[in-house]
Structure 1
Amino acid sequence: MKIGKILGLTVLATLGLLVGGSQTTEASVYTFSVVPELPENQLAKKAGYFDLMVNPGATQDLKLKYTNNTDHAVTVNADVTTATTNGGGEVDYEGDQKKLDPTLTVKTQDMITVPQDVTLAARETKEVTAHVAVPQAGLTGISSGAFTFRDKDSQQHAQAASAGMAVKNVYAFQIAVLMRQQKDTPFTFNQIQRSGLQLHTVAAGQVNARNVIKANLQNPLAKYINDFTTVAIIKKADSDKTVLSQTNTDQQMAPNSNFDLAIAYANGAAMKPGKYVLDLTAYGQKDDQGGYQFTDAAKTTKFAHRWHFEKTFTITGSEATQYNKADFTVTKDAFNWWSLLAVLLAVLITVFWFILWKRRRDDEEESEQN
């Protein structure tokens, strides 16, 4: 079980979110638990999530066992979402569903319905049915999403508490749902090598009030990019000098998703306007027989795939000023008293020289008149 804090208010309990993983949870920690009853068409037989082999136009009921772990009634709220990739290079089942990737043709939530609210009496266990309807056109590759289950009363209390600036935890279970028509990927090696990763926009930005360069990476295919490593180098367009460099390892991208890879400035370093070039190399799918290798200080790793991109981008003066002001780590220019003193001294010398010159001239004019 992987637990992460969401927006400082929500604690998320995740079940089986990595492809091929098998995870369990300690139900007594939470007010309720949800256990999937794996059907006959389940591929990963011992997993804690659904991994279904389906056919075009097929319908199916999925069974979920809800259990109330408390001595009072609990209402379990459920919904279904499509997997995305977050800014940390992780598959996210609670990502913004309004900003799904344009290459996504079938959303998980459009294929699965589940009762929104189910009330359980104290210590009650109840079987709940979710319904799956695969489009007649079928699926290409993997459809990835998840059920999310929340304690409705705790959720409402947390929303009320957040309005009053208090902190309240909400516990939520997620159970991944993968669906496909064939076990092996339908994409050829050349397809993945040619189209399996795309670089789109590159621009200055911020993450958590820190200056970064954001490189938008897209996985346009209906497959996971596992063991994802990126090596980013940024240089001035007219120079070979490296301005920024960053390596990210052990990332993962969801099918048909995109995210902004954030290449961070060092603490205290200011963003400067100008034209730059991003040189980005990405590796995917660790493979001892792979044709590409990445070496860091610790070891050499072989990968099945490698992608390389170069893209020119510009940081404007107004962008640099705006982001440097907002980044609390940037060393702000201190007021230079020595420079001010030098300017004042120069002014005083000039004024003193002018007064002496004026007096000498007046004395000479007076002597001539006499």
Structure 2
Amino acid sequence: LSVKTGQTNSLNQVEAKLQNPEPGMMRDLKVKTKVTKEGDSKVVLQNEKSNMAMAPNSNFSYAIPWGSTQLAAGTYTLTLDATAKGGYHWHFTKNFTVTQKEIGQLANKYNQPQKNYFWWFVAGGILIVLLLAIIIYLLLKNRRKQDEDD
């Protein structure tokens, strides 16, 4: 099991890797999490999800979104309780560190400028209009010449 910071769809999150070592499917999986500053009881982040399932002998990253909370650099404690149908129950506590570098990288990912194709579309539109104007001009010129010849 590991805990780290990450980002999905430009949303910052704490990711806890969960594992099902059992050969059977876990049904009605319910996960409750809370994140506190190490040595402090004040909850910084919390999350709860239920009605999940987990395949046999598998693992996945369980996301705890930051939401509007901005984590500062420091050491945090993740407390996770998971229960599933069939009497499965896990409780674990794990410390993890958020560095200033990680915060900067997540901010840079989030603030990446989106590619703007507006001016390419404008230039393409102008080019199409010019080509249509030239074609119409040539067709009209050719028609006038044919009318004069007749």
Which residue, 11, 28, 38 being the options, matches 1:237? Answer: 38
AA aligned to 1:233 is: K
Question: 1:187-226 deviations in whole A, cap 9, x for unaligned?
Answer: xxxxxxxxxxxxx010111111110000000001211010
Equivalent residue in structure 2 for 1:310, among 78, 93, 97? 93
Pairing 1:275–2:75 present: yes
1:263 alignment partner in structure 2: 64
User: Which amino acid in 2 is paired with 1:284?
Assistant: A
**Separation in 2 of the partners of 1:238 and 1:311?**
12
Distance in 1 of aligned mates of 2:39 and 2:91: 20
TM-score when scaled to structure 1? Answer: 0.29
Give the C-alpha shift of residue 321 in structure 1: 1.4
Within 5 A, what are the aligned runs for 1:196-235?
A: 200-235=1-36
Deviation at 1:254, TM superposition (A): 0.3
Q: Distance in 2 between matches of 1:229 and 1:258?
A: 15
Distance in 2, matches of 1:326 and 1:270, equals 15
Deviation at 1:235, TM superposition (A): 0.2
Rounded to whole Å, the distance in 1 between the matches of 2:71 and 2:108 is 10
| Per-residue CA distance 1:239-281 (angstroms, 9 max, x = gap) | 11111000011100001100000000113x3232100000000
Match of 1:108 in 2: none
Could you list the structure 1 runs, at least 4 aligned residues long, displaced by more than 3 angstroms after superposition: none
Match of 1:270, SS?
coil
Could you tell me which of 104, 117, 124 is aligned with 1:321? 104
| 1:1-370 equivalent positions in 2, closer than 5 A | 200-267=1-68, 269-285=69-85, 304-327=87-110
Q: 1:237–1:275: 8 Å Cα contact kept in structure 2?
A: yes
Q: For residue 142 of structure 2, what is the aligned residue in structure 1?
A: none
Distance 1:271 1:242 in 2: 12
**Structure of higher RCO (CA pairs closer than 8 Å, 6+ residues apart):** 2
Secondary structure of 2:85's match?
strand
CA contact (8 A) 1:271 1:323 kept: no
The 2-side partners of 1:262 and 1:246 are apart by 9
Identity within the alignment, %: 34
Give TM-score, length-normalised by structure 2. Answer: 0.70
Q: Distance in 2 between matches of 1:232 and 1:219?
A: 17
Which runs of 5 or more residues in structure 2 are unaligned?
112-150
Looking at structure 2, the residues matched to 241 and 327 of structure 1 have their Cα atoms a distance apart, in angstroms, of: 27
How far apart in 1 are the matches of 2:107 and 2:48? Answer: 23
CA distance in structure 1 between the partners assigned to 2:70 and 2:88 by the alignment: 35
Cα deviation digits, residues 120-149 of structure 1 (max 9, x gap): xxxxxxxxxxxxxxxxxxxxxxxxxxxxxx
The residue identity in structure 1 corresponding to 2:52 is: Q
For the aligned residues, what is the CA RMSD? 1.4
Aligned to 2:139: none
